Amino acid sequence: MILRIDDTDVGRNSDASLTSIFEGLRWLDLGWDEEYKQSDRLALHREVANAIFEKGLAYRDFTRAEATDSEKSGSHGTWLCNPGMRELTRQESDRRAAAGESFALRFKVPHDRAGHVTFTDAVYGDQAKAYADIEDFALLRSDGMPTYHLANCADDADLRITHIIRGQEHLSNAFKHALIFDAAGSVSPTFAHLPLLMAPDGMKLSKRVHGPVVSVTTYRDAGFLPAAFMNFLCLLGWSPKNDREKLTRDETVELFTLEGINRANAVVNFTEEEPFDAKALWLNAEHIRSLPPAELARELLPFVPADLARMTQITPLIQERMKLLKDVQSVADFFFAEQLPPYDSAELIPKKGDAAMAKTVLVRAREVLAMAEFTHDGLDAALRAASVELGIKAGQMFEPVRVAVCGRKIAPPLFGTLEVLGRETCLTRIAQAIEKL
């Protein structure tokens, strides 16, 4: 696998985007073997362009670059070529070039030839397009820089690329590429076009209009597991066809085939409030749950002010409560806080109880916890016994303690939480809660 940066449009290159690409791909651990930048390979591109020109399969277009807005098609019809330029004699063309006039080099598509350019796409099957419907696309710009089409074909041939797997937006460009490979005397790699990812608004997903949701690093920063993110992505336009959805990376590699890819575009759901597709979130939660706790603890470290030993204790308590690794911050915050953030003392009052009951419970809990064996089972037994003794329901006993210790009603299982928090912290927090009543 080769990572090649397509950076022939000098004006658009930026370190920020390059960094983002590298970080994202490294995070996914794709493991490429070689790495290239197209801007380092311009000599090769020009050489290939020149060879095509010398074969008479391309021509110089001296039309001024600024004038080419008229080439942009749209409601006016299809632009096929700049008339006059492709008919220039070689002598005239050479003369103007020698005189220093700048030009773009265009592929001379044989518009008058009958028949079609054809290729077989591994996903979309046999493709054909009439010569007459393909415009004279540029190979070289007037500043001598290669275009995307030329640079890619030249590099693909030179690097002996076997498979071109890319978005369907290039399906119609592939005819041009077939033409270039042919003109350059090389064989086409296998083409495999993938269905596009669409935004909920129905448009093709794009960084420009849809923002950070299209960046891999956004998923990393929010706490997706690389395997889960890859799992989600692979399920967009592909399935193992046996009702399985949650797949490990190895399973995916095992089951994946180009032929199994479907041809319809897929919508990725996201909104302002919820930037991630619900299914992506679910898959991530599934992957989080199936990780060994020790491993999960390590993944959680970047999101949390705690060391591995501490996280290893906490992790089993919260493993089922996270969709994103980042959720650890809201789910386990009270484990890291020196001082609990302020909360409404009314929270301490148990169901069908009052402030007096809360106080009774907490006072008794403080006594019990001062003595109890500080393990899950020990705590369980001690607090249950206390509830019986006070003549209240177990839930009414647990609730005030939970709030006193976690600062809120919704929290991980109580006994494990108390155990990890430790006797000292628990007693302190309960004492503080009693003060509030």
Partner RNA sequence: GUCCCUGUCGUCUAGCCGGCCAAAGACGCUCGCUCCUCAGGCGAGAGAUCGUGGGUUCAAAUCCCACCAGGGACGCCA
State the minimum distance, in angstroms, from the CB of residue 115 to RNA: 13
Can you tell me the distance from the alpha carbon of 40 to that of 36, in angstroms, rounded to the nearest whole number? Answer: 8
Rounded to a whole number of angstroms, the minimum distance from the CB of residue 352 to RNA is 13
The nearest distance, CB 177 to RNA, in angstroms, is: 10
Nearer to RNA, 308 or 336 (CB): 336
Single-letter amino acid code for the residue at 36: Y
Q: Which is nearer to RNA, 34 or 143 (CB)?
A: 143
CB of 67 to RNA, least distance (A): 7
At its nearest, how many Å lie between RNA and the CB of residue 271?
12
List of residues 6+ apart from 183 with CB closer than 8 A = 52, 55, 57, 58, 107
Task: Decide whether 145 or 337 has the Cβ nearer to RNA.
Answer: 145
The residue with tokens 């393909």 is 134
- Give me the phi and psi of 382, to 5 degrees please: -65, -45
Question: Are 287 and 296 a contacting pair, CB within 8 Å?
Answer: no
CB of 134 to RNA, least distance (A): 8
Site of tokens 């000098």: 10
3-class SS of residue 106: strand
Question: In 258-272, which positions are buried (b, 16+ CB within 10 angstroms) versus exposed (e)?
Answer: eeebeeebbebebee
Three-class SS of residue 204?
Answer: strand
Identify which of residues 130 and 370 has a Cβ nearer to RNA in the complex. 130
Q: Which of residues 106 and 220 has its CB atom nearest to RNA in the complex?
A: 106
Q: CA angle at residue 314 from 308 to 319, to 5 degrees?
A: 110
Q: From start to end of 234-334, where are the E strands?
A: 266-267
Nearer to RNA, 27 or 131 (CB): 131
Instruction: Tell the smallest beta-carbon distance from residue 139 to RNA (Å).
Output: 9
Q: Which is nearer to RNA, 53 or 103 (CB)?
A: 103
Nearest-angstrom CA–CA distance, 108 and 55 = 11
